[in-house]
Structure 1
Amino acid sequence: MSGDLRRRELGAFLRASRERLDPADFGIAVRGRRRTPGLRREEIASESGVGLAWYAWLEQGRVQTSREVLEALARTMRMTHEERRHLLALGGYAADGVADDGLVARLRPLLDNWPLTPALLLDQRFDVLAGNAAHAAVWPEPAPTGRPNLLLSLAGSARLESLLVPEEQFLYELFLRFRARADRFPAEDVVAGLRELRPELAHWWSCRAVREFGSWPVTVLADDARLRFECSLLRPDDTATLLVQAPVDAETREWLRQRC
């Protein structure tokens, strides 16, 4: 999308968002009939701390503005998480990679309705947001407090080598998919952590190999079985990733059925 077209789309989106607002929700008394629905330009500009002329130029697609101004307008217009991301994208700014607070609640039923499919909900940085019972059964190591990063947890796990066949390949496949999107959100601390935990893997980052789609096989060594899965990453939205480990044989499914 060209710069001119992007600015026009941004202006049209701002105008449509403004016209959907109800003045009463902002404590604005309406006397008589307004010529256009929603809030006036001057009301949005005042609420957002933006000059009226500048806001008018934005709606007209005449100027480029800062991320801070767009964030202020998104707050004033009470945009949803998806609308805010779209506004920032039209302004030429990448999403911040932070999942909204309601994401876990919305996707929890999906996780729980995969009783025989281990699954994790991750944000863009691969920080763990939630998991299901099947994942806990296969991966018994307690999770750290807070929002543990999956890559760092695996890289620092003393049990990883005894759980996975081959151990390094699983971590590498995850890393390739992390690397494919790492230019869109802050990732320096994750990369630094990987280098510290596994210095022998520092060449992974410098080689710049990436992988966005596709599944890969993994074998997990349980106490009494070899569990075989096909792993995939699904993206319910731009800020979240589902790591899904689908069992591929009857032995794995039966092992999970007995424990979940």
Structure 2
Amino acid sequence: MSEVVDTRSVRTQRRAQLSAFLTSRRAKITPGDVGLLPGSRRRTPGLRREEVAQLSGVGVSWYTWLEQGRDIRVSGEVLDAVAGVLRLSVAERTHLYVLAGLNPPVARGSAVEVTAEIRALIDGWVRGPAVVRDRYWNIVAFNVLAGRVFGCDDGEPHNCLVTFFTSPRYRELPDLWSDAAPGVVAAYRADAALVPHDDEFQRVASELAAAEPEFAELWERHDVGAPVQAVNALHHPEAGDLYFDATTLTVADHPHWSLVLYNPKPNTDTADRLAALPRLRLSESA
């Protein structure tokens, strides 16, 4: 029997956590940290509520209600202002958004470097290709086999959604491609729905729809689905037909990244064909 979630209870618990979180962060900031004089009769550790409100540009009553966990409307702009006054880290700012019931904004700025640990993980995946993709499905890291199988090693940026619809390697197995395409598009729309105000998803989809009518038709269905765990199949120009089971995992340190691991499909000769790829490359350069 499935458990029924009491949404009212969840909201109440979340507001209580929001109250405790803001109170604890406020206590860590001294008046001197924000250019205020400490005063001689200060009893409150850290900043007072009215000081946070003034520095954030919001009303004292409104900020008091926010910190008390009242059921009030909040905006991202106000949360950003409060986060700035309280000097919240990226993780803390995201936590503030979640507790306030808003989708955390996408971190902007320079690209996050792939850590040595993630690099070692995908390089150590020798059974098949392995890629790390960002929230828009852009590939940010890949192992040697992924480079050779998917063509990621050509020096060009790759987006998994765009590649699926435009690469001859996928389209040369038309029946399998047609079966998989609706699920691929539904998974991308589900990811886009998590951050409805992020224009980058729409940019990728709009440009692909203009170039590929089949994608445009599927995109207009507004279907949504879980990350595709189905069989991935493609025709490699050297190794021939390759079939994989793919598993998508979230990278804990970077929750907007996904790690996709590919296993050769059982009862196919994919593993043997992959093993021949290095030899094919060596024979090319001989």
* Pairwise same-fold verdict (TM > 0.5): yes
Structure 2 matches for 1:230-249, cutoff 5 A?
230-236=245-251, 238-248=255-265
**Do 2:246 and 2:263's aligned partners in 1 also have CA atoms closer than 8 Å?**
yes
Superposition deviation, residue 64 in structure 1: 2.5
Q: 1:169 to 1:120 in 2, by over 3 A?
A: farther
State the AA in 2 paired with 1:18: R
The equivalent of 2:123 in structure 1 is 112
Quick one: percent identity of the two aligned structures? 32
For residues 127 and 42 of structure 2, the distance between their equivalents in structure 1, rounded to whole angstroms, comes to 57
Is 1:126 matched up with 2:137?
A: yes
Superposition deviation, residue 136 in structure 1: 0.7
Q: 1:163 to 1:72 in 2, by over 3 A?
A: farther
Greater Cα radius of gyration, structure 1 or 2 = 2
The equivalent of 1:167 in structure 2 is 177
Superposition deviation, residue 14 in structure 1: 1.4
The equivalent of 1:135 in structure 2 is 146
214, 226, 229: which is aligned to 1:200?
A: 214
For residues 165 and 136 of structure 1, the distance between their equivalents in structure 2, rounded to whole angstroms, comes to 25
For residues 166 and 250 of structure 2, the distance between their equivalents in structure 1, rounded to whole angstroms, comes to 26
Q: 1:20 to 1:197 in 2, by over 3 A?
A: same
Q: 1:90 to 1:161 in 2, by over 3 A?
A: same
For residues 115 and 20 of structure 1, the distance between their equivalents in structure 2, rounded to whole angstroms, comes to 47
For residues 26 and 278 of structure 2, the distance between their equivalents in structure 1, rounded to whole angstroms, comes to 52
48, 61, 68: which is aligned to 2:56?
A: 48
The equivalent of 1:91 in structure 2 is 100
Superposition deviation, residue 257 in structure 1: 7.0
Structure 2 matches for 1:65-104, cutoff 5 A?
65-98=74-107, 101-102=111-112, 104=114
**Do 2:30 and 2:46's aligned partners in 1 also have CA atoms closer than 8 Å?**
yes
Q: 1:99 to 1:159 in 2, by over 3 A?
A: farther
Helix, strand or coil for the counterpart of 2:77?
helix
Superposition deviation, residue 215 in structure 1: 1.7
For residues 183 and 114 of structure 1, the distance between their equivalents in structure 2, rounded to whole angstroms, comes to 31
Alignment gaps of 5+ in structure 2: 1-6, 282-286
Q: Which has the higher contact order (CA 8 A, sep 6+)?
A: 1
For residues 274 and 108 of structure 2, the distance between their equivalents in structure 1, rounded to whole angstroms, comes to 31
Q: 1:240 to 1:99 in 2, by over 3 A?
A: farther
For residues 87 and 138 of structure 1, the distance between their equivalents in structure 2, rounded to whole angstroms, comes to 42
| Count of aligned positions | 257
State the AA in 2 paired with 1:234: L
The equivalent of 2:241 in structure 1 is 226
**Do 2:130 and 2:142's aligned partners in 1 also have CA atoms closer than 8 Å?**
yes
**Do 1:116 and 1:257's aligned partners in 2 also have CA atoms closer than 8 Å?**
no
For residues 174 and 160 of structure 2, the distance between their equivalents in structure 1, rounded to whole angstroms, comes to 15
Q: 1:49 to 1:11 in 2, by over 3 A?
A: same
TM-score, structure 1 normalization? 0.78
122, 138, 151: which is aligned to 2:161?
A: 151
Q: RMSD over aligned Cα, in angstroms?
A: 3.5
For residues 35 and 132 of structure 1, the distance between their equivalents in structure 2, rounded to whole angstroms, comes to 57
Superposition deviation, residue 199 in structure 1: 0.9
Superposition deviation, residue 230 in structure 1: 0.8
Superposition deviation, residue 244 in structure 1: 2.1
34, 44, 59: which is aligned to 2:67?
A: 59
The equivalent of 2:4 in structure 1 is none
TM-superposition CA deviations, 1:97-118 (whole Å, max 9, x none)? 5588446337334333324432
